Structures are given as structure tokens and as C-alpha cells.
Structure 1
């Protein structure tokens, strides 16, 4: 009989969240960082930053303290302390939006979309990411907060712009009808748990982070900074979807516990890492 599943607990945080403003050129990426440090190990890292690198007086460490001018030694030391104990997943928001256009309207949406287990749209997504007009129309159309039904004008704008073929020999959204679009939007408005939120890149970023740590044979318990995108329903559906996708391997995600970053040194450490990663990632080509 197989032995009990190996469980690893990781702390996670993000940098670059901009709400539904996913096409802001000033914030082109979101970085999702994670580490498997213990609370004592993370506290020791923060203590060294305070004593050795003059972050005195900081009750909560933020990336601007680590990345301010004159801190290259602090950055080098910090990254060396996390070597082999951390990961960073960077999402280019424009790529995320292009992928979600195709995910929603070329097949059944899934919480695997946007991860290594999801569909690969290849050249179609690569070409579509350059169509800022289409992406902006999609974001406006799927921003459904405080709405009871889809906005007909927003649907019209999207359908008028969306390409049937995005490049020579690359199928896009040929044959997409108003009924198709409204059907998906209605599912989002009705809270269909099978449809992931299209404007929340943090959800697939968390999934990809968990898959990296799981390595096909471990289960991951997540401690995460408080994020409104990670609702209990969404994380439960994500956990079930990942488990079904990798079965009979152990379920990758055991659960997500959200904490106040000021109360957990592990989350403060990964916040620093995420901030560094976002600052150094630069804009997508």
C-alpha cells in the first residue's frame, strides 16, 4: 500500500495587483511568490534585514525597503537565503486577458485554464495579445460587478472587434455569436462555479504555484496574504479540479488559509520576493 501523502506548507503573496485594470501599461505583470520557510526561518531573515541592512523601525517589510537605491547587497543576500526554498510565477496581464478570451469562447471554461494543465492556444493567443482594442472590449464586457445582466453595448463592441481568424492559418473566434457570448456572461453572473473569474490572474497563478510545489507527488497547504479573489468557493473548486486532473497522484492543493501579512513573517518574506520579481520582470515584449 502507498504511504501517506507528503505535505508541504508554503506561504504566498503577490505584487502587481491592479484590480480589473489589467491593461495598465504602468503595471504589466503580476508576480506570485511562494516559499516553504518556517515562521522562525522567515523571522530570522527579517531580523537580518533590520540589523544588517538598516531596515530598522519597519514593523512590516515591504518591497520598496529592499529595492530602494543603495541596497544591492541586501537584495543579493536576500535572494541567496531563499535559493531552493522559493518560487516566483510571473503573469503578463495582457497574455492573461488574451488567453481568457480564447478560453471562454472556444470551449468549456476550466480552472485549469492559464496553467500547465490547461489548453495551449499557441499562436492564436500570441497574436491576440497585440489587439489592445479587442482585449479592452473583453475586459469591459466581463467586468460584471454590480450588474444583473450583460451590458448589450459592451457585447456589441466586443463582437464588432473580435477577429474570426487572428492570423493566417490560425483559427480564432470564427462563428462566435451573440448567443454564445451572452450565455457565458450569464453563467458568470449566475455564479456558475465551473467558470473561473476571467479578470482574476491570481487564481491561475496560485494554481501554477501549487503545481510547481506539488511536483506530481506532494500535497500543498497554502498560507496566503488576504486576497478577495481567493474566495472559499473558488479555492475549493480549484482544489477539486487540480485533484481530478492529476489523479491518481495525490491532490496538489489541500487548502488555502488567508492571514494578515503583519502577523506572519513568512508572508512578509514572500511579499518582498514578489515585489523584487515584479520590479525586475519588466514589460512583456
Structure 2
């Protein structure tokens, strides 16, 4: 049997804000992937410099492409990437709302947040409108530098659950403080099966990989350096995707992180992600 086809995709994001997911100034994160050779990507950047008078710098940033008076540059850039790129945009409030349900109803999975994950439907729409619940969830699951869950943060979240159930989220009915603490303890213990609740970049990467894999090939990702994409997380994501689509080829073979200044493909992905984020966000 012939080996499955493999494609190498260069990726970057725009709008990553760490755990500050409810910042109204940055409501979405865009994740872009491009299927270009280094030579093709370098040619795109060279044209942007020469034809559209972009300042010669070691690294191109989306702000150069999106500055006023650059519509021709944007149109040319998007035309060059037609059929050679994808963009996945994540609304951060939707992400947090989905994570409330992913983490606290059923078994958490690295497939959650992707097309292979659970569809929570109307419940997400209800929860995204409850800023108090989302803020309480973020505070409760922000466990960095903690040895145990914060009792006050857990109490604030649990106290809001009955109101959310009454608003139309029956999935949370019967949720107790003990249930919540048990899940948080798994996160604190480093249970590899539980995805990080405050890292939208992980499901965004999953969706990008699934789009490029398309059920018939495997993907090697070259990504700008990101602390959210740890070796353990990408390994669990790869295994989860492979198990979900078997006997199709495993969607994700590897993630290699690089300094974007030294890879023109990643710089092009950064420009594309920046354009997508700017286009998706409302004008202030």
C-alpha cells in the first residue's frame, strides 16, 4: 500500500491574547495556513516591498499590509494566495462558552472546538451573552502558579449556574461544586486528556489541519513559536485526530516551531492572519 500523501503547511496566528480572552479590543483570533515553498513566499514578500513600497524589514507584519492607502496591496496579496491558503477565525467569547460545556459536561476532548467535537448549539449562544459567567469561568480555570483551585473563584462560578440553567442551558443542570473541583484538579494534575480551556489556538490548529488533510493526506505544520503549542499538547492533538478519522490517514504528523523572522512562509501566514482578524473585527 502506498504511503499517504504529506503536505507541509506554514501557519501563524493573529489576535492571540493569552488568558485575556474577554478583552473587547481583541474579540477574535485568526489562524492562517499557507501551502507555499520558501521561494514562493520570499517572492510574495519581495513584491510587497518593491511594488507596494513596504518598508524593508527583517520581518513583515500585518500592520504594513493593512495601513491606510493599501487596498491594491491587499487585493494583490489575496489573489496570490488563492487556492494556496486557509484561514480559521475563532470568536473568543464563543470559545469560552464552548469550553464551559466541553469541560463541565461529559468527558473533555482535544477534538472539542473543531468540526469533530461536540456541537453545543443554542447553549453556546446563551452563554456567550452571559459575560458574568464567562468571566467567572476564566478566573476559575486560570490555574497558573496554583496548587489547588481557588475556592472563592469556584464559588462565584457555581453560584451562577442555576441562573444559566434557567436561561436555557439545561446541560449544566445538577452541576455541583464537587464536579467542578474534580475537573480543575485534573487540570492541575496535568491530565494529558484534558485540553487547556483558555487556549483557543489549540482547536484553531486542529481545524486548520483538518481542512488541509481533507481525509486523504497528512499534514506537517511549521508554526511560529507559541507557548500554547507545547510538545505534549500537539502530541495529544495528533493522536486524538488520528483516532477520530481512522482508517483515513492521520491528519497531523508533526508540529515544528520556528522563528518567523527566518521563514518567509510563516511571515506570509502572519500577514494573512492579520488581514483576516482585521476583517472580522468590528470597526471601533
Corresponding residue number in structure 2 for 1:144:
143
Whole-angstrom CA distance in 2 between matches of 1:176 and 1:56: 55
Whole-angstrom CA distance in 1 between matches of 2:238 and 2:276: 26
8 A contact 1:50–1:56 mirrored in 2: yes
Whole-angstrom CA distance in 1 between matches of 2:165 and 2:122: 11
| Inter-CA distance 119–64: structure 2 relative to 1 (3 Å threshold) | same
Q: Which runs of 5+ in 1 are unaligned?
A: none
Corresponding residue number in structure 2 for 1:165:
165
Per-residue deviation, 1:165: 1.9
Which structure 2 residues correspond to residues 37-76 of structure 1 after superposition, within 5 A? 37-76=36-75
Per-residue deviation, 1:133: 0.2
8 A contact 2:127–2:164 mirrored in 1: no
Q: Does 1:274 align with 2:273?
A: yes
Whole-angstrom CA distance in 2 between matches of 1:166 and 1:226: 43
Corresponding residue number in structure 2 for 1:195:
194
Q: Which runs of 5+ in 2 are unaligned?
A: none
* TM-score normalised by structure 2 residue count: 0.97
8 A contact 1:127–1:167 mirrored in 2: yes
Whole-angstrom CA distance in 2 between matches of 1:184 and 1:280: 37
Corresponding residue number in structure 1 for 2:99:
100
Whole-angstrom CA distance in 2 between matches of 1:122 and 1:171: 12
Whole-angstrom CA distance in 1 between matches of 2:166 and 2:253: 39
The number of aligned residues is: 282
Per-residue deviation, 1:109: 0.1
* TM-score normalised by structure 1 residue count: 0.97
Per-residue deviation, 1:57: 2.0
Which structure 2 residues correspond to residues 1-285 of structure 1 after superposition, within 5 A? 2-162=1-161, 163=163, 165=165, 167-168=167-168, 170-283=169-282
Whole-angstrom CA distance in 2 between matches of 1:71 and 1:120: 39
After superposition, the CA RMSD in angstroms is: 1.2
Whole-angstrom CA distance in 1 between matches of 2:222 and 2:119: 29
Per the alignment, in what secondary structure is the counterpart of residue 249 of structure 1? Answer: coil
Whole-angstrom CA distance in 1 between matches of 2:79 and 2:88: 18
